[in-house]
Structure 1
Amino acid sequence: MLSTVIRAAARLLGGLTLLILASHTQADLSVTHGSQQGNLQVAQAHGVDDWRYTLRPGETVEQVGKRLLASTHNLNQLLQHNGVSSPGDIVPGQSIRIPVSWLEKSPEPAVALAVSGPVQHVDGVTGRRQALTAQSRIRAGDEIATGSGFAVVQLADGSLLRLGRNTDLMFNRLTRFGKTGMVDTRMRLDRGELDAEVEKLIDKGSRFEVDTPSAVAAVRGTKFSLQATSSTTQLQVTEGKVEFGPHGRTVGIPAGYSGTAGLGTQNPVDIRHLPPAPEPGAIPGTTNKMPLDIAWQDIQGAQAYQMDIFNTDTGNWVARKTSSSPKMRLDNLANGHYQVRLAAIDRHGNPGMPDKQSITVDQKARAAELQTPEADAKIDDKMPSFAWTYEGDNEVGRVEIASSSDFSDLVATSEWAPDSNAIPSRALTPGEYYWRVVTRTGGNSSATSQPRKLVVNGTLPPARIININYVDSQVRIFWQQVASADKYQLQLSEDPSFKHIIKEANVADTTAALRLIPGRRYFVRLKALSDGPINGRWGPGRELFVN
């Protein structure tokens, strides 16, 4: 009987398939619930799919019916379906048949664990399109379109789905059958790439299916990848087994093999060995240096190599890199924990068995060495150029300029950049400043250089009076604040040339009150003062007169 089945499969799929089935005879004869060829675990009775349940010690059929049946069905119907008249006729250890359609069903939303890039979430009820964010709930009927981004989704049973770039995935069904442990998960991958780690289905009546325009994949706990276009679907299985192929003609694809279905295939499913995993040697468990170069022996027949990087702290699919030669560079990784998967790609475009290694990136920023301007430099340029050297690896830096040595009042900065020179974000007015360079690496490590003093030559802008208020014989004057001014000098004169000063005072604020003799004319002016080496200029005088 066994040899007959193998010969029949060989006629259906060709010589290569015969080789696979012969070497995996026991693994490839059955077809899971996802195939239209049948269901091993669900019995056919009265034209209805039945689920078999075995009563546990101390359990009664009444308890089973109450716990598992939907409200539209009752115990009498269950007894009649099993051909018994009394609940006492079914005892612990015996099995009963329950139509799957009678079981209580509940929706089980999925959750987006991590999202990077402009991923869209389309609501299955309203059709509203919005950005997918971490912890978004995804319900049956919803769709995810990744565009140029990535997304990682976790199903209610713990299964993980990683969606690559330019992927459109529809969640057709996300159902749990009450307290039976059975789940029914069905999706449609219209295009793009799906990398899945499916939890082992705890009940044999469960199903997990992914439809594409040219094939269906049904699994019971495995790790696999699917790539779909409008006409072709490719499958790679790295753990477990997947029933795969056109509807009604699926075959079992075990770990270490690929399957291709759709336009251009020689058989309903073209099955091939996956390329072996590259052996890059041990990637250091922890590195405090980026970039990191990785090399390995070339694999015969490999057309290229593919590296996927996953953040194990967030689950995020961080990056995908490809190379035509057996070497790659890890770069631009923030501090954190990662899994690096490296695979060879065969001439049919199938990525092979992955080499998986973990790495912790722990980069430490170091204080930069300041170059120019020199300490206590005096310069005439209001947009001076600052230069420094990096002492660490993979660092970016920016200049910070303040008017105080504790940098509590930043005046200007530069943009974060890997360059070792920069100009401030705005022109500096004449005055005394302090500058330093802050360096960052790894996303969360920073260091600060020692500060230097800098003087921008010139004079402070003139202080201009903006308002004058008269109250009886008292006059209150208001003027504009001048950047870098520590105080202001006020002069009151009886003549517009300020040759006869009758009052002079230093004021810390930008307002002052004067008491004047009515009927006399006065003139007032102000000059900004600095505690540093910068001098101010007198602003224009204003006439004062009290009736």
Structure 2
Amino acid sequence: MFRKFSGILFLFVALQAQSQQQPEWIYNTVKGDTLWDICLKYTNKRGCWITLTKYNEVVNDRVMPVNTPIRIPVGWLKKLPVVGEVVYVTGAAKYSQWNDKQFFTLTAGQQLHLGAIIRTQAGSIVKLLLHQTNEVLIKENSELLLEKFSSNNVDVLDEEITLKQGSADVDVNSDKVKNRFIIKTPAAIAAVRGTRFRINSSGDQMRGEVLEGKIDVSTGSSSQSVPAGFGVSATKGKKIQPPQALPPQPKMLQARVKSSLPARVDWEPLNQVDQYQVSLYNGKKKILSIETVDHNWIVYDTLDKGCYQVKVHGIDGAGFHGIDSQASLCVIEDLASVDLNDEDSLKDEGDHLALSWQNAPEANSYRVQVSTDEQFSDIVQDTTTSDTQVVLPKIEGQDVYIRVISLDNNGRESLPSSVLEYSDKKSQMFSIIVTTILVGIAFL
């Protein structure tokens, strides 16, 4: 009899150790629930009610209070519960279901089940909505596991995800429902209640940055409470250092930028910042790209016409990412160029040149440039006018090249017009004659 009991006990301990390595679904009891009923309805495991009693340390399942959390390993469930969906995917990303080694392409609108693993590649971004409440933005070269979730019909949502590597931005929305949200990394665990924060995981290192609210970060040996505007770095098994202030918001030089391509957005440089991270959003708040630059501007060459949001934050020497600033960017059509005609546009009026042209659509002023070379590296006159004609002085004995650039009130500049060449032949001929006479006199 003793041997038989020992065998059962050993089997249970082995099952419990195996279960603890699995993702878990948390069922919150309602009035009249028993573990037998729960096992029968949700699991396909033989002897479930016996092992589930021990697994959850339930003394008497006949008198369980309402909303008692019952943890059920994912491998016992008849059907994997849906715990989230994909809001959007930028680039290429993949996912796998629980206990499935095969990975599949991840697409927008896709439902995600408990135990799913999401992997992003270089340049890819995935945004998740968990329980229709909390948002997780998974950045490039990351791997995330949906590890522990409660059922939806509860007063307090339990959600636990594991960021095995890479970076994620999290927005825990406590306005809709109370949350017990935990994000684990190999180095540390962050527990939050209603906040916005970033987590980066790399090997035994974890970095957290709090934008709103606060998080509690703990390792095996220490813990720290991190308020908004601060960040913390943790190393597995070591004491966590005190939080440090994040880089401040950079000041955008323009809150609204209207430009044809290439479009440039500038901000004031920050002290003690080595780099900046720039995120580009479309009108539907989808991130199109994330770039890291070492200067205080960004240039976009290939955007479609339309309006975007550009968010920028600094990155200090310790790798902490700061607070975002943003500006709107509207990419508009190129301004039409001026059409210069050799015969009609430029006339020699004796002591000066008269240049005229047709008005370019949407232009309200023009820049007229005169250069001594075709490459316009030696510009000798640069005039701006709101008219469509201008008087230019002659440069005696000098060939000149002339072009016009359209301008508008939004700061757009067109491509330069075709180039007109003017040669002051009379002045050149007079100079040659005078020079010849002087040379002849010298020989007399």
TM range (shorter): 0.5 to 0.7
Q: CA deviation at 1:362?
A: 4.8
1:364 to 328, 333, 336: 333
TM-score if structure 2 supplies the norm length?
0.57
Mapped contact 1:258–1:273 kept (Cα < 8 A): yes
Q: What are the equivalent positions in structure 2 for 1:323-338 lying under 5 Å apart?
A: 323-338=293-308
Mapped contact 2:145–2:161 kept (Cα < 8 A): yes
Q: CA deviation at 1:102?
A: 8.6
Inter-partner Cα distance in structure 1 for 2:234 and 2:292: 25
1:131 to 105, 116, 120: 105
Q: Confirm or deny that 1:273 pairs with 2:245.
A: yes
Q: Confirm or deny that 1:193 pairs with 2:167.
A: yes
Q: Confirm or deny that 1:289 pairs with 2:289.
A: no
Gaps of at least 5 residues in structure 1 are 1-48, 54-63, 83-96, 371-390, 393-547
Inter-partner Cα distance in structure 1 for 2:292 and 2:311: 12
Q: What are the equivalent positions in structure 2 for 1:44-83 lying under 5 Å apart?
A: 65=31, 71-72=37-38, 80=63
1:181 to 141, 155, 161: 155
Inter-partner Cα distance in structure 1 for 2:71 and 2:269: 56
Mapped contact 1:151–1:317 kept (Cα < 8 A): no
Q: What are the equivalent positions in structure 2 for 1:22-421 lying under 5 Å apart?
A: 65=31, 71-72=37-38, 80=63, 98-101=67-70, 107-148=81-122, 149-177=124-152, 179-200=153-174, 204=178, 206-247=179-220, 249-262=222-235, 267-284=239-256, 287=258, 289-313=260-284, 315-357=285-327, 359=328, 361-364=330-333
Mapped contact 1:237–1:256 kept (Cα < 8 A): yes
Look up the SS of the partner of 1:208 in the other structure: strand
Mapped contact 2:34–2:61 kept (Cα < 8 A): no
Q: CA deviation at 1:186?
A: 1.3
One-letter amino acid of the structure 2 residue matched with residue 161 of structure 1: V
CA-to-aligned-CA distance 1:108-152 (integer Å, 9 cap, x gap): 331112112221112224322111111122211111111112211
Q: CA deviation at 1:263?
A: 6.0
C-alpha distance 335-171 of structure 1, shift in aligned 2 (>3 A): farther
Inter-partner Cα distance in structure 2 for 1:316 and 1:111: 15
Q: CA deviation at 1:260?
A: 0.3
TM-score if structure 1 supplies the norm length?
0.47
Inter-partner Cα distance in structure 2 for 1:312 and 1:239: 24
C-alpha distance 198-333 of structure 1, shift in aligned 2 (>3 A): farther
Look up the SS of the partner of 1:293 in the other structure: strand
Mapped contact 1:235–1:258 kept (Cα < 8 A): yes
Mapped contact 2:263–2:331 kept (Cα < 8 A): no
State the percentage of identical aligned residues: 22
Inter-partner Cα distance in structure 1 for 2:220 and 2:195: 20
Mapped contact 1:176–1:182 kept (Cα < 8 A): no
Q: CA deviation at 1:237?
A: 0.7
**Larger Rg, first or second structure (1 or 2):** 1
Inter-partner Cα distance in structure 2 for 1:167 and 1:234: 14
Mapped contact 2:183–2:191 kept (Cα < 8 A): yes
Look up the SS of the partner of 2:222 in the other structure: coil
Q: CA deviation at 1:212?
A: 0.6
CA-to-aligned-CA distance 1:203-236 (integer Å, 9 cap, x gap): 55x4211111101111112111111111201111
Inter-partner Cα distance in structure 2 for 1:217 and 1:201: 20
How much is the aligned-residue C-alpha RMSD, in angstroms? 3.8
C-alpha distance 330-239 of structure 1, shift in aligned 2 (>3 A): farther
Inter-partner Cα distance in structure 1 for 2:110 and 2:154: 27
Inter-partner Cα distance in structure 2 for 1:318 and 1:276: 24
One-letter amino acid of the structure 2 residue matched with residue 113 of structure 1: V
Inter-partner Cα distance in structure 2 for 1:190 and 1:321: 23
Inter-partner Cα distance in structure 1 for 2:171 and 2:266: 27
Inter-partner Cα distance in structure 2 for 1:343 and 1:70: 54
C-alpha distance 273-102 of structure 1, shift in aligned 2 (>3 A): closer
Inter-partner Cα distance in structure 1 for 2:317 and 2:90: 30
Inter-partner Cα distance in structure 2 for 1:158 and 1:280: 32
Mapped contact 1:261–1:270 kept (Cα < 8 A): no
Inter-partner Cα distance in structure 1 for 2:71 and 2:297: 56
Mapped contact 2:187–2:204 kept (Cα < 8 A): yes
C-alpha distance 118-106 of structure 1, shift in aligned 2 (>3 A): closer
Gaps of at least 5 residues in structure 2 are 1-25, 40-59, 73-78, 340-360, 363-444
Mapped contact 1:152–1:317 kept (Cα < 8 A): no
One-letter amino acid of the structure 2 residue matched with residue 318 of structure 1: L
C-alpha distance 230-345 of structure 1, shift in aligned 2 (>3 A): same
Across the two proteins, how many residue pairs are aligned to each other? 293
Inter-partner Cα distance in structure 2 for 1:257 and 1:121: 33
Inter-partner Cα distance in structure 2 for 1:201 and 1:186: 19
Inter-partner Cα distance in structure 2 for 1:310 and 1:69: 48
Mapped contact 2:222–2:240 kept (Cα < 8 A): yes
